[in-house]
Structure 1
Amino acid sequence: MGKTAFLFAGQGAQYIGMGKELYDNFPICKQVFEEASSSLDMDLIGLIFNGTKEELNLTENTQPAIVTMSIAAYRAFNQIGITPDVVAGLSLGEYSALTASGVFSLSQVIPLVRKRGRFMQEAVPEGIGKMNAILGLAEDKVREACEEAKALGIVEPANFNCPGQIVIGGEVKAVDEAARIAKEKGAMKTLDLPVSAPFHTSMLKPAADRLKTELEHLEIGEMNIPVMSNVTADYITGSKDVKDLLYRQVMSSVLWEQIIRTMIRDGVTNFVEIGPGKTLSGFVKKIDRSLRILNVEDVASLEAAASALKTEQ
């Protein structure tokens, strides 16, 4: 029997009403939403279920909202007896993965990611930086394009999502130039992303430094489930390494494709995306179509995933 990995959604997957069905049907989910709201001393529940898209899309609101919904979905799934062999999350999702593993409590992680969102939002003034997805170009060619555009400013690979999808970020002129060069090198398409800052680049160091100060004060728990790091694409060896990896994560490339390939190498055949949307499921499918890919974001998907995995146990 193959191993099972839980993958936690990152920023960008949010939508108004996410988790409402779980909240209405599972007392454990209602409890998660209420605890998260109270840890922030704000009506997070109202924002997620009935707020405006514009308000939810503010990074400092998005991050606690996604982690709340993801942990609610995780606890409902866990309650029916499904446990993962390994967990990982894309960028912000790593905080959900660490919470599922026991490193953070819910009342710790929700205020932490709200601050992380604010720090990231404030690190680079609007209009200075941007991100662009390069589609259909090999990693070495994307790196070359960034190198050749560096004369115009900072530009770096930010996310290695899956074969043929690499996101770059940096200063506007340099990113535009790197995207132009990427097209010359054979990229099928380049696409500007609707984000407020060049996440996962060296330009986010001010945010990383502020986050480091917040992390220093936290008393964290032990990992009960193996967690993989975005920074190293390898297993986090213990709780002692968590704070440094999260500090580095803000300004380092997200090695998502490599994380999935490492899991496959280690015998994972079932991938369950936990939280809003199916973005990560799409990435996994592009890496290996033979894998079983499931998701949990509402009652129907939870029941389908539980039924699929229980037949295998």
Structure 2
Amino acid sequence: MKKVAYIFPGQGSQAVGMGREMYENYPEVKKLFDQADQALGYSLTSLMFEGPEEELTKTENAQPALLLNSVAIAHILKAEGANPVTTAGHSLGEYSSLVTAESIRPIEAVQLVHMRGKLMEEAFPTGKGAMAAVLGLAKEDIEAVLLQLDENEPVDLANINCPGQIVISGTAKGIENASEQLKDAGAKRVLPLNVSGPFHSRLMEPASGEFAVHLKNSTIIDAEIPVYANVTAQPVTESAEIEKMLIEQLYSPVRFQEILEEFVQMDLDAIVEVGHGKVLSGLVKKVNRRTKTFSVQDSETLNSFIQWYREDS
């Protein structure tokens, strides 16, 4: 049997219309979507299929929508006999990983990330926080610049995605100051991101305490396969460690490049992005261009992957 790892996208990959084709073709996907709508108390499904985009983009909606879409596709892959040996997700995508590893039940995960999104939105005043992508500058050089900034306008590393692509997060004024200094330090570009808050920075710590209560009231069990945690870039399976990682993840950097480097060393046959978009597949290629990747997001791409997966197996 082929050895594959699944990776799951995070916030920013959402788009109106995602999941509709799978919903219409697979009764079990429709059932999962309907259960999610009932659990949330509003029609996330219609928001995913019809928009409006500005509503879907809100953190409290985008997070459960992306998770639901990814988990539904992973469910069909499992029904087709495809199973990963390990898994990871980018920020929010870590929850899709945990559902796939059978550590969290799907609908409970949908409710959790809906609450996570609300708490992240509320943790810092709207418009006062910001994030930006720094292109073409090494992590150490970025850290050196951030250390020189005004402590009253903090900025932290948020996403370490791949060589030459790192996201910073902090106050709007801090990001503005950092952007100028990073360009002076040699960054090719510093691009503001369309986000509603300073995610994965110390400014998210207020959200972590309340979210910890929701996690305590959830059922999290040991994972069936290793899930690589964003916080440590190391595999976790024990429920207590998983819970700890999910709390710390809110205010810690996403170490996705390191996770992908670990995967590349595993002698995998392929790394499979499960869910909407191809952002993570692109990151894999930046880490190691020879790694075989798949992006599974609809019936066509799912069938293409399954056909390959079953060859010579």
* Deviation of 1:167 (Å): 0.3
Are residues 1:249 and 2:224 paired? Answer: no
* Deviation of 1:227 (Å): 0.5
C-alpha distance in 2 between matches for 1:34 and 1:91: 25
Matches within 5 A, 1:16-27: 16-27=16-27
In structure 1, the residue matched to 2:91 is: 91
C-alpha distance in 2 between matches for 1:137 and 1:2: 37
Are residues 1:67 and 2:67 paired? Answer: yes
C-alpha distance in 2 between matches for 1:180 and 1:28: 50
Secondary structure at 2:290's aligned position in 1? coil
Secondary structure at 1:87's aligned position in 2? strand
C-alpha distance in 1 between matches for 2:312 and 2:232: 31
In structure 1, the residue matched to 2:43 is: 43
* Deviation of 1:47 (Å): 1.1
**Over aligned residue pairs, what C-alpha RMSD do you find?**
1.3
In structure 2, the residue matched to 1:194 is: 194
* Deviation of 1:15 (Å): 0.7
C-alpha distance in 1 between matches for 2:45 and 2:298: 16
* Deviation of 1:99 (Å): 0.7
TM-score by length of structure 2 reads 0.97
* Deviation of 1:107 (Å): 2.1
In structure 2, the residue matched to 1:163 is: 163
Letter in 2 for 1:201: S
In structure 1, the residue matched to 2:215 is: 215
Assess, with a 3 A threshold, how the Cα gap between structure 1 residues 204 and 211 changes in structure 2: closer, same or farther. Answer: same
Secondary structure at 2:97's aligned position in 1? helix
Letter in 2 for 1:167: V
In structure 2, the residue matched to 1:260 is: 260
C-alpha distance in 1 between matches for 2:219 and 2:151: 43
In structure 1, the residue matched to 2:230 is: 230
Letter in 1 for 2:253: S
In structure 2, the residue matched to 1:279 is: 279
Secondary structure at 2:169's aligned position in 1? strand
* Deviation of 1:262 (Å): 1.0
Deviations 1:192-237 (A, max 9, x none): 0000001000000111111101111112223112111000000014
Assess, with a 3 A threshold, how the Cα gap between structure 1 residues 52 and 312 changes in structure 2: closer, same or farther. Answer: farther
Secondary structure at 1:276's aligned position in 2? coil
Any conservation in 1 of the 2:224–2:237 contact (CA below 8 Å)? no
Letter in 2 for 1:295: S
Any conservation in 1 of the 2:132–2:191 contact (CA below 8 Å)? yes
C-alpha distance in 2 between matches for 1:220 and 1:311: 35
* Deviation of 1:2 (Å): 6.4
In structure 1, the residue matched to 2:311 is: 311
C-alpha distance in 2 between matches for 1:279 and 1:169: 20
Deviations 1:113-134 (A, max 9, x none): 1000000001010121100100
C-alpha distance in 2 between matches for 1:300 and 1:184: 46
Farther-moved stretch of structure 1 (190-199 vs 238-247) = 238-247
Moved over 4 A (4+): none
Are residues 1:179 and 2:183 paired? Answer: no
In structure 2, the residue matched to 1:142 is: 142
TM-score by length of structure 1 reads 0.97
Deviations 1:258-277 (A, max 9, x none): 00101112223411000111
Deviations 1:47-97 (A, max 9, x none): 111121011011101111111111111111111111001010000000010
Secondary structure at 1:130's aligned position in 2? strand
C-alpha distance in 1 between matches for 2:261 and 2:59: 29
* Deviation of 1:152 (Å): 5.4
Identity %: 38
Secondary structure at 1:302's aligned position in 2? helix
* Deviation of 1:29 (Å): 1.2
Structure 2: which 5+ runs fail to align? Answer: none
Are residues 1:6 and 2:6 paired? Answer: yes
Any conservation in 2 of the 1:204–1:250 contact (CA below 8 Å)? yes
Any conservation in 2 of the 1:152–1:173 contact (CA below 8 Å)? no
Tell me the matched-pair count. Answer: 313
Deviations 1:91-114 (A, max 9, x none): 000001001111111121111110
Secondary structure at 1:156's aligned position in 2? strand
